[in-house]
Structure 1
């Protein structure tokens, strides 16, 4: 019972800190996913552009950031960013070390990683659109902006939801690596609590349970979004029949 009180919300309990750390983990992951969506859209457009130079750059990006270990990228962004910020500070007359904020560094690093995966998701979603629909839209004189808004964007979104759900889960787990920067997210807080109380098994199990809760709730959200996106699509309805 004494051990269980450590994960409670009373005096000496770590429950509130662990829940807040889970919230920070969600914030980092959501920010990283948004950053990755912007990067992924640009990279996917480059790979689909038909321009050899742009496609090559897009392929290099996805190859590098899907092949290099995530922890290495986090180190490069955090320490490299801190060095850059320090250099800028010295140029402006400030003496001393300026560290890059852990939240920004972590979200940017995970966002860059997720952007490589989202680029492939968006590329595959675009290629899943029926070419006949695009040709028909061009034949009736629909201009590019309208074609993108009425045909391409809704279908890319619909086809991309399952893949984006997988990228979200990947980013959620990658956020645990941000603990090396000192950000008090779920993994870091579990480590601190375990070290402070010497209850390593208890707090790492609790941390794992909280991660499972977050991933399970995320699955429900993305499954609901997928059902909602497919609701008005006859082909999807026929496929499920």
Structure 2
């Protein structure tokens, strides 16, 4: 059985290498890096920078669903008839839209660590605890993203006539079913441009996690720049990588937008 798992692991490693867009057989750094500073292997920094790109994309993709879910819940609370829920939603968005993203990251990274340490000390566990940088970055970016996302979704909610809810009630649909089948498709179409802009901001904000030690694009290129004394080369490369990610994101968002418009026209 161990031989089977070993073979599967080897096969997966080969697949990852074969389809690696940076250091694979037809990867960018493999084809154009040559023996330069961005070549793959021990001679250059291609492997490290490729890993940084993967961390950046993974962090952004991991943050997105949590940010959308929290933003959706906050938007629902802000249009609720319950005054306490509206007040809580307003306080949440005011705090995290008002604080600089970097300060939010520091508060969560060090603050959560202190809270956990205090709770463990209270039960008699005195060992030092350090929160994972990736988790801290994801939490910080999620709350910042959700605070802006809630405003976009709230505007989209207000653009949908109340008659849509009443029509659902008239045909016997439960509010949850009306939300899923009637409101959400329209909400996505209306909010998509704003959410697309927020995704672009999220991609850029991932660079902030480099200050707490996460090996993203900016940290890897920064380390390479210091070691090689070639800051211009590596920071221009970082700019190019972020621009490529932005262009790919624009293509995907445009495709989603066209799909939602076709679905709306088909109705």
Q: Given the two structures, how large is their TM-score scaled by the length of structure 1?
A: 0.91
Match of 1:165 among 168, 190, 196: 196
2:33–2:40 contact (8 Å) kept in structure 1: no
- 2:111 aligned with 1:80: yes
1:41–1:122 contact (8 Å) kept in structure 2: yes
Aligned to 1:19: 50
Residues of 2 paired with 1:194 and 1:92: CA distance?
Answer: 45
User: Could you report, residue by residue, the CA deviation over 1:171-225 in whole angstroms, capped at 9, with x for unpaired residues?
Assistant: 1111111111100011111111111111111111101110111111111111111
- Structure 2 residue runs of 5 or longer lacking an equivalent are 1-31
Aligned residue pair count: 236
Match of 2:85 among 54, 63, 71: 54
Match of 1:144 among 162, 165, 175: 175
**Greater RCO structure (CA 8 Å; 6+ sep):** 1
Aligned to 2:100: 69
The CA deviation at 1:226 is 0.9
Alpha-carbon RMSD:
2.1
Residues of 1 paired with 2:125 and 2:168: CA distance?
Answer: 58
**Which 4+ residue blocks in structure 1 deviate beyond 4 angstroms?**
1-4
Of residues 107-116 and 119-128 in structure 1, the stretch that sits farther from structure 2 once superposed is: 119-128
Residues of 1 paired with 2:225 and 2:116: CA distance?
Answer: 33
Q: Superposed, which structure 2 residues align to 1:71-110 within 5 Å?
A: 71-110=102-141
Aligned to 1:187: 218
The CA deviation at 1:97 is 2.1
Aligned to 1:117: 148
The CA deviation at 1:87 is 2.4
Aligned to 2:15: none
- Structure 1 residue runs of 5 or longer lacking an equivalent are none
Of residues 41-50 and 128-137 in structure 1, the stretch that sits farther from structure 2 once superposed is: 128-137
Residues of 2 paired with 1:38 and 1:2: CA distance?
Answer: 41
The CA deviation at 1:42 is 1.3
Residues of 2 paired with 1:11 and 1:40: CA distance?
Answer: 44
